[in-house]
Amino acid sequence: MNLRRVRTVVRAMFPIVFMGALFLYALWPWLPFHDDTRTRRTIVFYGFSVLEAPIVERISPGFLKAWKDSTGESIDLRSSFAGSGTVTNQIITGVPAQLALLSLEPDADRLAEAGVVEPKSWRKLPHDGIVNRSPFVIVVRAGNPHGIRDFEDLARPGIRVVHPDPLTSGAASWSIVAEYGAGARAHPEDPQAGYRLLLGIWKNVVAQAASARAAMAQFENGFGDALVTYEVEALAGAHAGRPAFEVVYPRRTVLSEHPLVIVDRNIAAPDRAAVDALVRYLWSEEGQRAFVRANFRSVVDSLNRDNPRFGAIEDPFLVEAFGGWARAKADIVDGVWKGRVLEELGR
Amino acid sequence: MSRQGGQPRAIVPVGILLLVLLPLLLLPLGAMFVFAFSGGWSDFRAALQTPEAEFALRFSLLIAFATAAINALLGTFAAYVLTKFEFPGRGLLMTLINLPVAIPTVVVGTSLLLLWGPIGLIGRWLDPQGIQPMFAPAGVLLAHLFVTFPYLLGTVKPLMGELETTYEEAALTIGASRWQTFWHVILPGLRPAIFTGALLTFAHSLGEFGATVMVSGNLRLKTQTAPLYIYSQFETGNIAGANAVAAVLATVSFIIFVVVLGSLSPTRARQ
């Protein structure tokens, strides 16, 4: 009888105790007896997907320490990462980004078209606003079972290629330029060479992920024979005890360039100094070295010798080779890829 | 369980049910826990103790508490009005209120953005004032209130309809105000239903993804809820980290549903 009473009481009390404990856990850091870290000033940083580890693990701690050392103030860096196109759309719809490191300039142009930033305002920053670079490479399974050596091999029948989606991913647009450019530069006498290589590779595309990160995750989960992605992403994937991948350096490939955009309308006057300091830090020697350690290539070429994992590329080219992004987007991505390749494939 | 165990041949239908549910439900849940603990207990704890994971869990819980509390008030009031008053358009209002169950949550997120966002119908007037409900905790709360609104109504309204009206009429006859009648006569009978509905709301809010991903801005340590954290970690390839948080969410939800089911059992209902 007594035991039943106890059981009833326990049953009645359990939900209250359980929910109470959850509530206490949830509220814990905000309870008054903690020293208040919530009133710290924050910088809000948005970046394209593969920046997550470099920013969170290297740039952010380095900058926050430098700021603390020089001003004595502790501040926080809040960050969010997604495909470059997604980040751009988020900023247009009004997320409070103060800085955005985008994968490619056309996304910055879209911000300017939407009235978020002044047109080409990033060009006034150091290195025309380009913070770092990364060549586009091919990732294959351990032992390279299909013997893939270059972009041409991705066009062979039966190779399954994982590719990010150009709608949302900057990496996808870079990949298209890399593939087209590799074909065009291998056969400068043949104006159709770029189109043919692009078509051959896209016949083999079996998955289109929303971002370079998502594409890598699909590949890691066992999908596809080859992946086209940033070198920085490939080196991270081939590292860290993951089921071994191999990185294949094409003879000809594009060096992607990532512009920084400052969203002035989201920067209140008191935050300006800290935001500007972070901008300077990104191009400082310390910041650039941090990117090199994170497998991004620095805009200062001499620093790139510090990373022995960077592979050699016979003919690296910039998007300037095709007249800059404005031309390359119209001619290669929209003209050749969307207009002819997708048309031909009936997608 | 013990009652069914006494029946003959229960083992056959129970066995078939388990076999069907195994690949549908039980194995996927099991896989999540296997991956969450693939690095052992210490890795599991370490994955939960990153600032991002801790924040995401706490933020999700706080939003869930706020959502459950506000919708408990709103839902009870809505159930009261919809049961006790006849008015034109009541049927239509009922349908509209239940709509969040049927429309995709992503659509809820989009519609909130188009109302409150900086380019939205109301948001474009608020924005110059410096008021930005979207991409902030308030936006997440709004989305969760919208998405979970029908759940409390679903548990409270049927009971409200069944309540004996004689006590209510008696209270009104002896001069009690509508408010007194509600507080002293109707509410006590509804308490278990409100409790159950609030817990259901809480659990749904804890797991909400589709609307949240649209309105939160997904800022780590600011507006990233636990499900968004899980998604972004999974996309990053941090499968163990994603699954550690997922396992916690699943466990909390499991306990809540045990409590809900327990409160619905006949012994509790009589109290």
Residue partners of A264: CB distance under 8 A and separation at least 6: A117
Q: Which residues pair with A129 in a beta bridge?
A: none
Pairing between strand A161-164 and A315-317?
Answer: unpaired
pLDDT of residue B189: 85
Residues of B with CB under 8 A from a CB of A: 57-59, 61-62, 65, 113, 117-119, 123, 127, 132, 134-136, 195, 199, 202, 217-222, 224, 232, 234-237, 252, 255, 259, 262-263, 268
Chain A nearest CA to B84, separation (Å): 31
What are the pLDDT digits (tens) for A125-161?
Answer: 999 999 999 999 999 998 899 999 999 999 999 999 9
Chain A nearest CA to B213, separation (Å): 11
Residue partners of B217: CB distance under 8 A and separation at least 6: A80, A90, A95, A96, B134, B135, B136, B139, B223
Mean pLDDT, residues B146-158: 91
What are the pLDDT digits (tens) for B14-61?
Answer: 889 989 988 888 898 888 888 888 878 888 988 898 888 999 999 999
Contact B259 A15 (CB under 8 A): yes
pLDDT of residue A38: 54
DSSP B120: S
Query: What's the whole-number average pLDDT of chain A?
Result: 90
Contact B217 A76 (CB under 8 A): no
Cα dihedral across residues A97, A98, A103, A104: positive or negative: positive
Cα–Cα distances in angstroms (integers) from residue A253 to residues A177, A289, B74, in the given order = 8, 23, 60
pLDDT of residue B271: 39
Q: Are A233 and A170 contacting, i.e. CB atoms less than 8 angstroms apart?
A: no
pLDDT band at B84 (very low <50, low <70, confident <90, very high): confident
| Percent of residues, chain A, with pLDDT higher than 90 | 66
Residue B102, φ and ψ in degrees, nearest 5: -95, -35
pLDDT band at A36 (very low <50, low <70, confident <90, very high): low
pLDDT of residue A241: 53
Cα angle B100-B103-B105, degrees, rounded to a multiple of 5? 80
DSSP A16: H
* CA distance linking residue B159 with residue B145, whole number of Å: 22
Chain A nearest CA to B62, separation (Å): 6
Q: Which residues of B touch A76 (CB under 8 A)?
A: 221
Cα–Cα distances in angstroms (integers) from residue A151 to residues A162, A216, A299, A321, in the given order = 13, 18, 25, 18
What are the pLDDT digits (tens) for A301-315?
Answer: 999 999 999 999 999
Query: Is the overall model pTM greater than 0.80, yes or no?
Result: no
Interface test with B, best of A75, A80, A98 (most B CBs within 10 A): A80
Largest CA-CA distance found in chain A, in angstroms, rounded: 96
Contact B235 A18 (CB under 8 A): no
pLDDT band at B265 (very low <50, low <70, confident <90, very high): low
DSSP A244: P
Mean pLDDT, residues A117-131: 95
Q: Which residues of A touch B117 (CB under 8 A)?
A: 93-94
What are the pLDDT digits (tens) for A186-212?
Answer: 999 999 999 999 999 999 998 888 888
Contact B58 A49 (CB under 8 A): no
Mean pLDDT, residues A231-259: 84
**Neighbour-count burial of A48, counting CB atoms closer than 10 A to its CB (0-12 exposed, 13-18 middle, 19+ buried):** buried
Residue partners of B18: CB distance under 8 A and separation at least 6: B26
Mean pLDDT, residues B189-195: 89
Q: Which residues of B touch A26 (CB under 8 A)?
A: 57-59, 61-62, 65
Q: Which residues of B touch A211 (CB under 8 A)?
A: 235
pLDDT of residue A37: 53
pLDDT band at B8 (very low <50, low <70, confident <90, very high): low
* CA distance linking residue B58 with residue B136, whole number of Å: 15
pLDDT of residue A264: 94
Q: Which residues of A touch B243 (CB under 8 A)?
A: none
Segment 206-235 of chain A within 8 Å of chain B by CB: 211, 213-214, 216-217, 220
Q: Which residues pair with A260 in a beta bridge?
A: A101
Chain A nearest CA to B271, separation (Å): 10
pLDDT of residue B1: 45
Mean pLDDT, residues B136-144: 94
Interface test with B, best of A51, A95, A223 (most B CBs within 10 A): A95
Mean pLDDT, residues B263-267: 55
pLDDT of residue B166: 79
**Neighbour-count burial of B85, counting CB atoms closer than 10 A to its CB (0-12 exposed, 13-18 middle, 19+ buried):** exposed
Contact B58 A18 (CB under 8 A): no
Residue B174, φ and ψ in degrees, nearest 5: -85, 15
Residue partners of A298: CB distance under 8 A and separation at least 6: A132, A133, A288, A289, A291, A292, A304
Contact A217 B237 (CB under 8 A): yes
Size of interface A-B (CB pairs under 8 A): 84
DSSP three-state, residue A136: strand
DSSP three-state, residue A339: helix
Q: Where is pLDDT greater, at A216 or B164?
A: A216
Mean pLDDT, residues A321-328: 92
Residue partners of B47: CB distance under 8 A and separation at least 6: B36, B39, B53, B240, B241, B244, B245
Q: Which residues of A touch B57 (CB under 8 A)?
A: 26
pLDDT of residue B269: 43
Q: Which residues pair with A79 in a beta bridge?
A: A45
Q: Residue B61: which of A26, A95, A220 has the nearest Cβ?
A: A26
